[in-house]
């Protein structure tokens, strides 16, 4: 990996924004918590339409075939990398680290590394349902479908997710020193240890105090307070708030045994890898 793009990768609703807030506060070291309003501009998103429009000949996004949009990613990622003459460019992505119809979803030639956040799919189900206005059963099937994709909208171009399990496997199956994988739950339970892994990848793990301050400045409590005061542009119209509860094991209060069993059935292999299968369903 000899490029300058550091991917912030996750399945949707798995902690990508939380991680972006931490990195922003770690790199910028503001005197007070960085505003969440800065995140969409400080970080790049490989799904921003402005990167694709030069290649579309004036066509509206919704008229461009999905396969064509996917095929443009190699060039778009090269353009994003070239937009920063020096230093790393942090780029949010929800795409698999894989191929679609023979086209790579990420340009590894311009990749310097990646931070991958993995979250228990039982909890992701609840956040997905809320964010996309789905029923819980619909969200379970959405996350279990290997063909799941997000269509182009005014805010984002089409992306390919696949199932939760396939997405997680694509980013985590092959260990690499420049790809750091952290569990959402460890960010909650062991924040210093988990976030230090990220800081170490970025070469910012010493001294420790700025890392601790970045953790405090990006806490869920701070992010939720900021959204309540200023709003957040990435909140879905279907949801009352982008930052909902920020806890683990919310599924215990919301999912039936049948729903848990269905999630495990669809996602078992990767749930076992990351310790997410409840004892009663092993």
Q: What is the pLDDT of residue 153?
A: 85
Give the pTM. 0.91
The lowest-confidence range among 4-8, 30-34, 191-195, 243-247 is 243-247
CB neighbourhood size of 187 (10 A): 24
- pLDDT category at 109 given cuts 50, 70, 90 is very high
- Please check whether residue 243 is in contact with residue 224, taking contact to mean a CB–CB distance below 8 angstroms: yes
C-alpha 75: how far from its chain's center?
Answer: 22
Range of the structural domain that residue 101 is part of: 5-120+149-235
Q: What is the pLDDT of residues 229-275, one digit of tens each?
A: 665 644 445 555 455 566 789 999 999 999 999 999 999 999 999 99
Query: pLDDT value at position 176?
Result: 93
C-alpha to C-alpha distances, 230 to 15, 42, 83, nearest whole angstrom: 20, 17, 29
Q: Domain of 159: which CATH number?
A: 3.40.50.300
Percent of the chain predicted with pLDDT > 70: 93
Whether residue 175 is contained in a domain is answered as yes
Give the model confidence (pLDDT) of 173-225 as tens digits: 999 999 999 999 999 999 999 999 999 999 999 899 999 999 999 888 887 77
Q: Is residue 258 part of a domain?
A: no
Residue-level pLDDT at 34: 80
Q: What is the mean pLDDT of the chain?
A: 90
State how far the Cα of 19 lies from the Cα of 215, in Å rounded to an integer: 10
The closest alpha carbon to 139, from 106, 164, 168, belongs to: 164
Tell me, yes or no, whether 253 lies in a domain: no
Kindly give, in sequence order, each residue whose CB lies less than 8 Å from that of residue 214, ignoring residues fewer than 6 positions away.
22, 23, 25, 26, 29, 195, 199
Q: Report the distance separating Cα 150 and Cα 158, nearest Å.
A: 5
Judge whether 217 lies within some domain. Answer: yes
Neighbours of 210 (CB within 10 A): 16
Q: How many domains does the chain have?
A: 1
In a domain, residue 254? The reply is: no
pLDDT number for residue 113: 96
What is d(CA 125, CA 143) in angstroms, rounded to the nearest whole number? Answer: 8
pLDDT, average across residues 6-10: 97
Helices (H) and strands (E) in the chain, counts: 14, 9
- Of 41, 43, 37, 42, nearest to 231 (Cα)? 37
Tell whether 270 is covered by a domain: no
Residue 257 falls inside a structural domain: no
Alpha carbon distance, N-terminus to C-terminus of the chain: 38
Position 232 scores a pLDDT of 60
Query: Is the pLDDT confidence value at 58 over 80?
Result: yes
DSSP letter assigned to residue 34: P
Quick check: helix, strand or coil at residue 93?
Answer: strand
Give me the torsion for CA of 246, 248, 251, 253, rounded to 10°. Answer: -80
Average pLDDT (11-16) is 92
Q: Tell me if 261 is assigned to some domain.
A: no
């Amino acid at each position: 990996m000899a490029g300058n793009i550091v991917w912030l990768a996750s399945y949707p609703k798995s902690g990508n924004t939380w991680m972006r807030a931490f990195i922003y506060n770690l790199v910028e070291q503001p005197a007070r918590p960085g505003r969440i309003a800065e995140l969409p501009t400080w970080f790049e998103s490989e799904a921003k339409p402005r990167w694709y429009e030069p290649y579309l000949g004036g066509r509206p996004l919704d008229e461009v075939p999905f396969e064509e949009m996917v095929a443009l990613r190699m060039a778009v990622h090269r353009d994003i990398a070239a937009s920063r003459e020096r230093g790393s460019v942090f780029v949010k992505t929800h795409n698999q680290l894989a191929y679609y119809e023979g086209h790579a979803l990420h340009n590894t030639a311009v990749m310097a590394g990646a931070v991958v956040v993995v979250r228990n799919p039982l909890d992701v189900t609840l956040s997905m349902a809320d964010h996309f206005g789905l029923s819980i059963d619909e969200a379970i099937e959405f996350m279990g479908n290997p063909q799941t994709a997000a269509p182009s909208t005014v805010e984002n171009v089409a992306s390919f997710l696949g199932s939760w399990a396939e997405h997680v496997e694509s980013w985590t199956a092959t260990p690499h020193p420049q790809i750091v994988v952290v569990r959402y739950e460890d960010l909650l339970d062991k924040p210093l240890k988990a976030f230090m892994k990220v800081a170490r990848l970025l070469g910012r793990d010493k001294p420790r105090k700025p890392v601790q301050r970045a953790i405090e400045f990006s806490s869920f409590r701070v992010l939720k307070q900021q959204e309540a005061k200023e709003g957040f542009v990435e909140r879905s119209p279907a949801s009352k708030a982008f930052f909902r509860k920020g806890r683990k094991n919310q599924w215990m209060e919301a999912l039936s045994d049948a729903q848990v069993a269905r999630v495990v059935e669809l996602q078992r292999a990767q749930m076992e890898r990351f310790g997410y299968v409840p004892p009663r369903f092993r």
